[in-house]
Amino acid sequence: MIDELQALVAAVETPSLSRAADRLHITQSAVSRRLQQLESRLGGDVLDRTRRPPVLTPLGARVYERAKVVLEHVDALVSLGDESKQPHGRYRLGLSIGLGDDVLERIVARIHARFPDVRLDVRSDWGPALLGHLGNGALEAAVVLSPTSAPTPDPLQARPLGTVGLVVVQSRRDTPFTGAVRLADLATASWVLNPTGCGFRAALEMALGGMDGNRQVTVDALGSDVQLRLVAHGLGLGLVPEATLASSPHANDIRVVDVTDFKPVLQARLVHHGSPGPFRAVLDAIASCAMAPTAPGV
């Protein structure tokens, strides 16, 4: 039926059937045959052939208006897999919570500058939840933090973006741990951590799991900024990315604890579906700026 609708639109938008045939790269008789097939399917005439040149009937006018919309959607569907097309429309991206606001700002600024026709919808969540959203089609891509050995679920694809080193931190004004220590020395300490589900917290709990002690989480605080603020006030130890600490306004109030046997590293991956079509360029832009600052306006 698509061929028939194309024939109708071409017949209306060109001065003659011969010109419509040229536009569709078929013969004039093929155009006439397709119009007749459309009329047979609809049960009525779309063109008044008693007029010269033929004009749309009331039925034909209604079909013509809807045919244009249908054909526009067909063109859009065909372009979904064409990487040479300019991306446009909604793009749903997930970001691991532990990545911080700086990563979000860089990605949003880059996509807005380079792809003004793309509307970026961002969802923040823990890595396993983001992979679940990707699996059920609720996201197009996600920047996920996970252990370096973690596999990528089939049939998703992943690009490694870099590593994120974590450091244990304490208040500079209240420093119970000076010099190098072992993780066992922290077994009874209080902590300010992300809620359960965070990969940072999971790495710490796994490392501390076999050690004696009565450790406790003083505060479940979502986000590194508020955690660092609470750590600076002496409410407990924290576990944050090195880059987040370096850029934090609370950095001068924080001291890193040198834990010789606990140097956790997570890998940042851009996980996405295969065959992204025109959005391949969007993925490339996200990958190029997610883990490294860029100059303003790029």
Average pLDDT of adjacent 10-residue blocks, the chain of 298 residues: 92 89 92 92 91 88 91 75 77 89 90 94 92 93 88 91 93 90 90 85 81 64 87 93 88 95 92 88 93 45
Pairing of β 216-220 and β 157-171:
unpaired
Pairing of β 237-241 and β 157-171:
antiparallel
| pLDDT of 295 | 34
Q: Where in the chain is the domain with CATH 1.10.10.10?
A: 2-79
Determine the Cα–Cα distance for residues 50 and 48; give it in Å rounded to an integer. 6
Packed helices 17-24 and 28-42: angle between N→C axes, nearest 10 degrees: 100
pTM of the predicted structure, to 2 decimals? 0.67
Q: Where in the chain is the domain with CATH 3.40.190.10?
A: 89-161+267-289, 164-265
Determine the Cα–Cα distance for residues 219 and 168; give it in Å rounded to an integer. 15
Q: H or E segment at 120?
A: strand 118-125
| pLDDT of 112 | 94
- Considering the segment(s) 164-265 as one domain, its CATH architecture is 3-Layer(aba) Sandwich (3.40)
Determine the Cα–Cα distance for residues 244 and 99; give it in Å rounded to an integer. 8
| pLDDT of 187 | 84
Pairing of β 118-125 and β 157-171:
unpaired
Q: Is the distance from CB of 69 to CB of 82 less than 8 angstroms?
A: no
| pLDDT of 80 | 62
| CATH 3.30.930.10, applies to 2-79 | no
Determine the Cα–Cα distance for residues 36 and 30; give it in Å rounded to an integer. 10
Q: What is the CATH number of domain 89-161+267-289?
A: 3.40.190.10
Q: Which amino acid is at 257?
A: V
